[in-house]
Structure 1
Amino acid sequence: LLFPEKRCPTLSMPTNGGFKCLDGAYFGSRCEYYCSPGYQLKGDRIVTCMDNKVWSGRPASCVDTEPPRIQCPSVKEKTAEPNKLTARVFWDTPEGRDTADGILTDVILKGLPPGSHFPEGDHKIQYTVYDRAENKGTCKFLVKVRVRRCAKLNAPDNGYIKCSGDGNNYGATCEFSCVGGYELQGSPARVCQYNLGWSGVEPTCAPMNINVNVRTAAALLDQFYEKRRLLIISTPTAANFFYRMQLGMLQPAQCGLDLRHVTVVELVGVFPAQIGRIGVKLLPPSLALQLRLLLRIPHYSFNIVVMDKHGMDKERYPFPATPAELFALIDKFPLRKDEMKLQAEIGQSCP
C-alpha cells in the first residue's frame, strides 16, 4: 500500500519579504524567511514541516524598524555686518531617505528657517522626518552668529554719550556732548572699527572759558554758538526795579538755567558809564555797547533777550519774566527736546 505523503499548509508570503524551502511543504521540509532591504524579520527565521502537518515556530513577518536617514549641514558660522546685530544665514533644507519603501512624511523644522536673521549667539536647528511605520529620523546643527564688539565707552565727566546700535558693536557710532557750562575737547563722535578699536580720541568736558577781551560783539557771541543759550538782561541802571526783581527771581533758579545750558549776560548802565557781566567776568564798556547795538537792545529801558544755541533771537520781554515762563519757552526749542531725553536717561534733573 502507498501512503500519501504528509504535507503542511502552504506558508503565507510575508509582505516585503519571502521564503525559500528545501522541499516545498512536505514533511521534513525546511523553509527560511527573508525580508527586503530596510525591513527586519519578526518571528522565527527557519520553520520545519513536522509530522503532525504543522510548521514549527511562529509565523514570520517583515517590519520596518529602521529609522529614515537625514543629513544636516555642518555648523553655520556668520559674523554680523557693520551696524547690524543679526546675520542672515542660508542653507539647503536636508532631504530624508528611507531604506524601506522610500515613502516619508514632510521634513519638520524646529528653529528658524533658512534665510532668517539670527541674533547674536548659538541657535540649535533640528530637522525630523518619519516613515510610514512612524520611525523617526533626526539631525541637528548649530547656527553661530557673532557680533564684533569694541570695549564699552563711557560718558565723559560732566557729559553725555549717545550710541547707535548696541553701543559697542562693529559700526556703532557714539556721540558725545557736555552739560551746561562745559565744552567738549577731543572727538565729538567715535566709531567702532573692524579691528575692535574706536576711531578718534577720547573726549573730555572742560569748563567753558569765555574770552571777554575780543574786539567785536560778534566774536563774543561766536563763542556760544551751538554750546549755550543766552539770556541777556539789559537795564539803564543797577537800581532799576525790574532789573532787581529779575535777578531776584533767577537766583534760586540757577539749576534750571544750567540744565537748559543758559548763560546770563548782564548789560548795566548807559555808555560811557556802562558795563557788561558774564558771571564774574566783566565786559569792556565798548564791547557791552556793541552787543546792545548788534542786537538792537534799547539803552534807556529794561529789556530781556532770549537767544538759542544758533544765535537766533527767540523772544524779548520789556518786563521781568519768571523762571517758569523762560523754561517753558526754552523747552520748546528743537535742540532742547534731545537734551531733555538725554538728561532723563542719565537721571539729571533739578530738585
Structure 2
Amino acid sequence: QPGQCFQTLPNMLNWIQLVVLVPFSSYLSFPGSGYYSYRDDEDRYDHRYKGTPWCAPIKVKHGDVSCRTPRGEHYGNVMGTRCKIRCKQGYEAQSSEVVCMASKHWSLNYACREIRCPKLNMPANGGYKCSDGSYFNSRCEFFCSPGFSLKGQKTATCQHTKVWSAGDPTCVDIDPPKITCPTLKDKWAEPGKLTARVTWDTPEGVDTADGILTDVILKGRPSKSDFPEGLHKMAYTVFDRAGNKGSCRFTVRVRVRRCSPLFPPDNGYVKCDSDKDNYGATCQFTCTGGYELQGSAARVCQHGLTWSGSDTTCSPMNINVGVRTAAALLDQFYEKRRLLIISAPTAANHNYRFQMTNLQQAQCGLDLRHVTVIELVGTYPAQIGRIRHRLLSPALALQLRLLLQIPQRSFQMVLVDKQGMDKQRYPFPVTAAELFTTIDTFPLRKDEMVLQQEAGQTCQS
C-alpha cells in the first residue's frame, strides 16, 4: 500500500544508517567469539552503549594487544575484558595481562618500557664508554688508566634478558717498575793488596702506574765495600704495590797486578806463597822421584811483573846401564822410582805380550806412580834386558834374575818399591787397574797423591 511504504521508509533509513556505522573490520571477525585486537595506532571506543561500564581503549607503543571480552566483540573494553600485552624486542611489558575493572580503569599499567640492564660498576683505575647507556643493545667498552692492563672482556652488551654479556673486568697493574743500574765499575787493586774499594750511587725506581714503590734492594756487596779480585755480579730490585718486580744488573771488576802464572814442570811440583803470582810472591820448585831439577829452584814476581831466575824443568834421571852389577843398577832407583820387572822366556810368550800391551795403554798411570819398567826376555846367553829404549847386557840381565830369584823359563813379574823391597810377585799377567790398586796402598804413595792433587796432576788410568 502507498501509505505503508511511507511508514516503512524511516525504518529502512535507520537500518541503512546502522549498517554504515558498523566498521568494516567487524565483518572480518568471528561473530560471538569475543576476541579482538588493537594495533599501536588504533583508538576504538563505541559510544552506543553508554549504560555499560567501559575502560579507555588500550594504546601500546612498541607493542601490540590481544583482548577477550565476555560480551562479544561489539562490547570491547567492557568490564571483565582481559587484554594480553606483547612488546617488541628490546622492550618489556609492565604487566603481561590487564583486566577492565568496574572503576572503568584497567587493573595495571600496561606500557612497554625499553629493557635496561643494571648499571655497570666502574673498574678501579679505569672506566667505560657506552653507546646507549644501560639500555638494550647498548655496547660498552672498558679502558684502564696508564700503567694498568685490562683483565677480563673488553666489551659488554646489554641483552634482552637484562643481563650484560660479560662480567665486570678489572684493571690490574702488570707493568713492572723501571730501575737503571750504575755502569760497569772497573778498578785495580790498591798497592800491596788484593782488594779495591768501589763506590757508586744507589739508583731510584720509577713506576708507570700509581708511583708507589718499595725500598730498593741490593743483591751483592754494598757501595764503599772492599771487593776482592774478579768479576762480581750485582743486582738492584724494586717492587710496586701490585707486587710487580723491576730489576737491573751491573758488575764490579777488580784487577790485581800479577806476573804471568807459573805452572809445575812435568814430573815436578811448584809451591808459592802469598797469592801465588801477585807482586812479591815466591815460588819453590821440586821434582818427583827419578827426575832432576834444571833451572831456578825458586822464582820471585818482581816489580816489572816478570819472574826472577830462569825457567825450571825436571829432566829424567840419567840411568847408567853400563854398570857391572845388578846391585849398582838398582841403587840408582833408591828412594826415586819404583820398579816393575817383567821376565819371559821369549818375546812370543802370550803372557808377556798381553802384559806389555796392557801396560802400554796405561803409561800415564805408571808415570804418575813413579814406576820404571824393566824387561828381561830370553834365556842365557841369548837373553836381553831393556829399560824403555836402553838395552842391558846379557850378563847384567842374568844378574838381575839371580838377585831377585826370577825364573828364566816361565813368565813372572816382580814389583819393587822405592826402598828396594820386593813387594809383590805375579806368576800371571794382571790388569793395570789391579797393579795400581796395589801401589796406591803403599804408605809413601799416599803422600805423593796429596802433592799431586794439590798440583793438579791427574791421570785417567
TM-score by length of 2: 0.37
TM-score by length of 1: 0.48
Question: 1 or 2 for the larger relative contact order (CA 8 Å, sep ≥6)?
Answer: 1
